[in-house]
């Protein structure tokens, strides 16, 4: 199931911000190896979100070789920092090299290990928690992320529409079911307000509400 009409998708891609040659090289590497990345349209959204809330601390869950982190960093002030997570040392090395060539040395750091465990150990508050872990793990991200976000901070999650499978009642594989559970949890959580954007493969954006009075607004 196509989420966006191809012509609309092409229109959006034609109007993303100018990108560094290094970012384009990252896109080319991902394209040649069929490595999943958010792509420039979603990347531009990440930059806008970071700028809109003045983000200085971002925690990424499932960073790969640093493509999405590069977009977060574009939208953050010079003292902003992104914590990346990944299990693959080759991707960590590649991501480190790319981000340093983009001029971000000292503004990021990789945690090599399981992303959700890293989240549970992390000390907040964060301005953004970005989720792109294995889909079956999505529901486990919600509560620890809420606990570590500042009021007004964002929980942002990729693949929230999963190729449209979440809307197909005939699809019941574990990944699709986990994404459905995730979207339901963030949509009904008393400390979050959530919208799902039909951009690329779907992006869920949840804002963390203040604790005081949040539950009474439901």
Reported as a pLDDT band with limits 50, 70 and 90, residue 214 is low
- Whole-number pLDDT of residue 212: 76
Tokens of 25: 């090289």
- Whole-number pLDDT of residue 213: 52
| Stated pTM of the model | 0.94
- Whole-number pLDDT of residue 2: 64
* pLDDT tens track for 181-191: 999 999 999 99
Tokens of 115: 């992303």
Reported as a pLDDT band with limits 50, 70 and 90, residue 218 is very low
User: Residue 16 domain-assigned?
Assistant: yes
218, 165, 120, 87: CA torsion to nearest 10: -160
User: Residue 122 domain-assigned?
Assistant: yes
- Looking up residue 122, the CATH number of its domain turns out to be 3.40.50.150
User: Residue 120 domain-assigned?
Assistant: yes
Asked if 217 contacts 192 with a C-beta cutoff of 8 angstroms, the reply is no
Mean pLDDT computed over 163-173: 96
User: Residue 61 domain-assigned?
Assistant: yes
User: Residue 99 domain-assigned?
Assistant: yes
Owning domain of residue 10: 6-217
Query: What distance in Å separates the CA atoms of residue 181 and residue 140, rounded to the nearest whole number?
Result: 10
User: Residue 98 domain-assigned?
Assistant: yes
User: Residue 1 domain-assigned?
Assistant: no
Asked if 22 contacts 93 with a C-beta cutoff of 8 angstroms, the reply is no
Number of H helices and E strands in the chain, helices first, is: 8, 7
Query: What distance in Å separates the CA atoms of residue 73 and residue 4, rounded to the nearest whole number?
Result: 27
Total structural domains in the chain?
1
* pLDDT tens track for 12-21: 999 999 999 9
């Amino acid at each position: 199931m196509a989420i966006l009409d191809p012509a609309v998708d092409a229109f959006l891609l034609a109007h993303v911000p100018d990108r560094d040659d290094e970012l384009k090289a990252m896109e080319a590497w991902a394209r040649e190896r069929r490595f999943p990345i958010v792509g420039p349209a979603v990347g531009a959204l990440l930059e806008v979100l970071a700028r809109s809330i003045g983000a200085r601390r971002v925690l990424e869950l499932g960073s790969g070789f640093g493509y999405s982190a590069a977009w977060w960093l574009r939208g953050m002030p010079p003292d902003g920092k992104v914590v990346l997570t990944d299990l693959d040392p080759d991707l960590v090395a590649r991501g480190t090299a790319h981000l340093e060539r983009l001029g971000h040395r000292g503004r990021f750091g990789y945690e090599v290990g399981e992303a959700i465990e890293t989240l549970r150990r992390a000390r907040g508050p964060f301005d953004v928690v970005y989720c792109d872990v294995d889909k079956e793990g999505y529901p486990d991200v919600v509560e620890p992320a809420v606990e570590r976000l500042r009021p007004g901070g964002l929980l942002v999650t990729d693949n929230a529409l999963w190729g449209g499978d979440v809307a197909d009642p005939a699809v019941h594989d574990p990944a699709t079911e986990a994404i459905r559970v995730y979207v339901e949890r963030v949509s009904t959580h008393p400390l979050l307000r959530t919208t799902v954007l039909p951009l690329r493969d779907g992006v869920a954006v949840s804002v963390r509400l203040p604790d005081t009075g949040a539950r009474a607004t439901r």
